[in-house]
Amino acid sequence: MVTLRRVDKKRFKELTYPHLEFLYNVALKYSGNKYDAEDLVQETMVTAYSKFQQLRDDKSCRAWLFTILRNHFLKERKQLLRRPYLDDGSSYLDYIRDEKSSGFVDRIVEKDANKKLHRVLAKISEKFKSPLILYYMEEMTYQEIAEYLDIPIGTVMSRLARGKRYLKKGLLQPSSRKINKGKIVQMMGLVMQL
């Protein structure tokens, strides 16, 4: 019995540890900070270890781990997800239309872009966030995302389109500090989703 567990642990590590960086980065995008991300990865790995016998196909290990991590995130952040995303109904293209072409992103996105990315992602529902992470971070195709999230490809396409809109707009919108200095963004309070 002891020998069997040791062998299982070895195999578990061989199969799962190569995906730790991936899990950590997904967790980072979900949670927005490294401490929560590390907790999330640890919880994921402990759960995965206890349910290792449920993994039927070694090739699907990455997707299986992703699903466990996502479930942990959803479970723990359930209440946050109920918070509606507020949008003024304008297009993100409005922010870039009048900008000079080259290097405009650096000019309008704040210096610490990563922090802003996490702030914006935190306001986006998981159903849009997950496709975004898999698309931008893993460069997955629609089909691959659909398989990972177990949703129809059409749903992936529409969620990705909406997710990109929310994300780009969030990044381009000036922060509240800048609004106070004079840039005007009227929040119409429209509930866009959820």
Partner 1 sequence: MDCATFSSWLENRDTYDLSEADRAMKHAVQCAKCKDLLQKDEELDRFVAKMFQYEMMDKRMYGKIDRSLGESGRKRGIKGGLAAAVAMVAVVALFFAFTPSPGSFSSMDEFGRYIVQEHQNHGRITPLFEKIDNVEGWGRDNLHKSFKVNTLPAGNLKIVGGRICTIKDCEFAHLLYQDGKEIYSLFVVSEGEIGFNLEPGRMYSLTVAGVELHVWQKQKMVYALTS
User: Taking Cα atoms as reference points, which of 184, 168, 167 lies closest to residue 176?
Assistant: 184
Instruction: Collapse the DSSP code of 189 into the 3-class scheme (helix H, G, I; strand E, B; otherwise coil) and give the result.
Output: coil
Can you tell me whether residue 124 is helix, strand or coil?
coil
- Which residue's CB is nearer to partner 1, number 52 or number 60? 52
Residue 84 DSSP label: P
Question: What is the closest distance, in whole angstroms, from the C-beta atom of residue 128 to partner 1 in the complex?
Answer: 12
Q: Which two tokens stand for residue 130?
A: 């997950």
CB atoms within 10 A of CB 117: 16
The residue range among 62-70, 79-87, 158-166, 177-185 that interacts with partner 1, by the rule CB under 8 A, is 158-166
Please give the angle made by the CA atoms of 133, 120 and 131, to the nearest 5 degrees. 20
Question: Of 58-66, 78-86, 135-143, 178-186, which part binds partner 1 (CB under 8 A)?
Answer: 135-143
* Interaction site with partner 1 (CB under 8 A): 5, 9, 12, 17, 20-22, 24-25, 28-29, 34, 38, 41-42, 45-46, 49-50, 91-93, 96-97, 99, 101, 104-105, 109, 113-114, 117, 132-133, 136-137, 139, 142, 157-158, 160-161, 164-165, 167-168, 171-172
